[in-house]
Amino acid sequence: MIHQISDEVIDKFIDDGEVEIVKQFASQVPIRVISNMLGLPREDEDTFVEWYQALIAGLGFGGEHLTAGLKARNDMWDYIDPLIAERSKNPGEDLLSRICVAEMNGSRMTPEEIKGFVALLLAAGGDTTEKAIANMWYHLMYTRPDQLQDVIDNEGLWEDAFTEMMRYDPVVHAQFRYTTREIPMHNDVIPERAGVILYLGAGNRDERAFKDPDTFDIHRDDLHMGKENRSGRYKDGKNGHLGFGIGQHFCMGYAMARQESAIACSKLAARINNPRPKHAKHAGISSPSIDSGGFRTPAELWMEFDKNP
């Protein structure tokens, strides 16, 4: 599914000789994958993408974005309600059907809970993955263009590029938690049930864990490059990144995010010739903008490439 959808998205701009990666590619692939996983009709895919984009903007800082987000949410719920009713009675193999009929202790989720689950998929599975894809292309084009050629020559390196991006410049740099007990630290004590902000981005740049931590390098030999796990401990003895969190709240969708990002990017790299930044200078990966939903990514990212003969 990821292969097919990636190709379909690329088909829309492959003859243009340029692409704005954020809006035309990164924000398209993950949400179309989720739409197909849920078993939504393919003819409604474009509408679903529009709803998603409005929903994410509505997670920002209010105003007109919030109004548009609420309307998109209501329109989406009106669309999904009859699908939930139908698939609760006649389930198929799609994810929405499985959510509808899943049981715990003999009870199923209510329609409102099912819609909440769908919303979580969109925000956690769509928004973070699209921004991860954009961040990866930014660093390969502007921070390490020499390594862009490496991933073009060897598509297997996209997995390593994804891992290093999650260490060096992940979408989420901090998480809020409550302590479950007193924590002695630096001659002080953090009380039980105290609110703490964990700066994952700082941990990922810890010079005690990584050599030259402020250098983006997909070939580094001190970072675990395989699949992540919630313990953060790996048989190769290397440190992992903290981009998906750690422990009990480790991201459930990490495997899909990795797979989508690597497959989509390898597809794009394989189908274009001589990719390069359209602009010599770039503002870089910015803090969350007013309509970003709260995650870090370039506002836009233009790439040129030679058209196929």
Query: Quick one: pLDDT band at residue 296, thresholds 50, 70, 90?
Result: confident
Q: What is the residue range of 154's domain?
A: 2-167+254-306
pLDDT at 289: 63
pLDDT at 166: 95
> Is residue 146 packed enough to be buried (19+ CB in 10 Å), middle (13-18) or exposed (0-12)?
exposed
26 within 8 A of 130, measured Cβ to Cβ: yes
More confident residue, 119 or 92: 92
Q: What percentage of residues in the chain have a pLDDT greater than 90?
A: 71
More confident residue, 239 or 293: 239
pLDDT at 124 over 90: no
Distance CA 20, CA 303 (A): 6
pLDDT at 90 over 80: yes
Question: Any idea which of 99-103, 107-111, 291-295 has the lowest mean pLDDT?
Answer: 291-295
pLDDT at 160: 97
Instruction: Identify the CA nearest to 254 among candidates 268, 243, 267.
Output: 243
> Tell me, what DSSP letter sits at residue 300?
-
More confident residue, 16 or 127: 16
Q: Tell me if 45 is assigned to some domain.
A: yes
Q: Can you list the pairs that 144-148 forms with residues at least 24 positions away whose Cβ atoms lie under 8 Å?
A: 144/216, 144/217, 144/218, 145/276, 147/216, 147/217, 147/218, 147/219, 148/275
pLDDT at 29 over 60: yes
pLDDT digits (tens, 9 = 90+) for 155-192: 999 999 999 999 999 988 888 899 999 999 999 999 99
81 within 8 A of 102, measured Cβ to Cβ: no
203 within 8 A of 239, measured Cβ to Cβ: no
pLDDT digits (tens, 9 = 90+) for 247-279: 888 888 888 899 999 999 999 999 999 999 999
Q: Tell me if 241 is assigned to some domain.
A: no
pLDDT at 58: 79
CB neighbours of 255 closer than 8 A, spacing ≥ 6? 227
Q: Tell me if 184 is assigned to some domain.
A: no
pLDDT at 65 over 90: no
Q: Tell me if 66 is assigned to some domain.
A: yes
Question: Any idea which of 91-95, 122-126, 174-178, 196-200 has the lowest mean pLDDT?
Answer: 122-126
Mean of pLDDT values over 225-244: 92
pLDDT at 246: 86
pLDDT at 238: 95
pLDDT at 91: 95
113 within 8 A of 248, measured Cβ to Cβ: no
Q: Tell me if 174 is assigned to some domain.
A: no
Could you tell me the CATH number of the domain that includes residue 274? 1.10.630.10
pLDDT at 291 over 70: no
Query: Quick one: pLDDT band at residue 122, thresholds 50, 70, 90?
Result: confident
Angle at 263 between CA 169 and CA 276, to 5 degrees: 65
Q: Tell me if 195 is assigned to some domain.
A: no
Q: Tell me if 127 is assigned to some domain.
A: yes
Distance CA 194, CA 48 (A): 40
Cα-flanking dihedrals φ and ψ of residue 207, to 5°?
-65, -15
Supply the pTM of this predicted model. Answer: 0.89
Q: What percentage of residues in the chain have a pLDDT greater than 70?
A: 96
Number of continuous H segments (helices) and E segments (strands) in the chain = 12, 9
Query: Quick one: pLDDT band at residue 293, thresholds 50, 70, 90?
Result: low
> Is residue 305 packed enough to be buried (19+ CB in 10 Å), middle (13-18) or exposed (0-12)?
buried
pLDDT at 62 over 70: no
More confident residue, 206 or 63: 206
Q: Tell me if 202 is assigned to some domain.
A: no
Total count of domains within the chain: 1
pLDDT at 292: 56
